[in-house]
Amino acid sequence: MRVLIVDDERLARAELRRLLAAYPDVEVVGEATHVEQARQQVEALTPDLLLLDIQMPGGTGFDVLEQLDEPPDVIFTTAYDAHAVRAFSVNALDYLLKPIEAERLAESLERVRQRGHAQRASEPSRPTGTPLERVFVRDGERCWLVQLAQVPLISSEGNYSRLHLPGHQPLLLRSLSYLEEKLDPARFFRASRQHLINLDFVETLEPGPGGTLVARLRGGPEVEMSRRQSLRFRERMSL
């Protein structure tokens, strides 16, 4: 398990290194002290796990994650328990309160292993061009990782994109065109300038005005394809 420590306090980083030295399967590949450095280190070192402080110069740990195309697993390290509890109302990540206890760290590392990422440490890096599989999103006080295969619909909002999930519609700081380039083209189809649809969620197709197609997605939403994209869709599906 390749770990990157992100914390602006030298003593905190040193303490984490000391605690992690007890685990033969853990390698500390680097350290960062602020948001921009953390982003650069993640892109350069591709760690499996971030031990990420929340309060840092130049922004927060959440800002780091929002700038990453595909963040690794994250264990937040923070001195503010109330802030952490709010942040993880959706329990997709983990957090440790400072001063970090060895037993609590062991539990968190085991949680990461159980999710299968320890095996990833011994595998080759993912090839360039691999489709984007998940993104980190923040919706008010809630933060979580979204598996993009579970997103039925993505809509454009200027330079940003809205993920349409059951009960949640978080805004992602990426344009729809950017996502179109990064997503798996076998799964996502550009229905119009405003919409990307997940083909796995298409239940029915109906004729629309002017030769267009209207896709009804599982869960209810309907999306009208543009005339040009309707033609492409027909050609692709041999309709």
Q: How many residues does the chain have?
A: 239
89 phi-psi bin (left φ>0, alpha ψ -120 to 50, beta other): alpha
Quick one: angle between helices 102-114 and 10-20, nearest 10?
70
pLDDT recorded at residue 146: 86
pLDDT recorded at residue 85: 54
Peptide bond preceding 99: is omega within 30 degrees of 0, i.e. cis?
Answer: yes
Q: Give the number of other CB atoms < 10 A from CB of residue 47.
A: 23
Phi, psi of 234 (to 5 degrees): -60, -40
Split at pLDDT 50, 70, 90, the class of 203 is very high
* Collapsed DSSP state (helix, strand, coil) of residue 118: helix
pLDDT recorded at residue 117: 53
Split at pLDDT 50, 70, 90, the class of 168 is confident
User: Which uninterrupted H or E stretch holds 176?
Assistant: helix 176-182
Q: What is the pTM of this model?
A: 0.69
Q: What gap in Å lies between CA 147 and CA 115, rounded to an integer? A: 14
Interval 113-162: pLDDT, tens: 887 654 554 444 555 568 888 888 877 767 777 889 999 999 999 989 99
Interval 39-91: pLDDT, tens: 999 989 999 899 999 888 888 888 888 888 778 888 888 887 665 555 554 34
Amino acid code (one letter) for 210: G
145 bridge partner residues: 136
HEC readout, 136-153: EEEECCEEEEEEHHHCCE
How buried is residue 102: exposed, middle or buried, by Cβ count under 10 Å (0-12/13-18/19+)?
Answer: exposed
Q: What gap in Å lies between CA 163 and CA 155, rounded to an integer? A: 7
pLDDT recorded at residue 204: 94
Cβ neighbours of residue 17 closer than 8 Å, sequence gap 6 or more: 5, 28
Q: What gap in Å lies between CA 196 and CA 223, rounded to an integer? A: 9
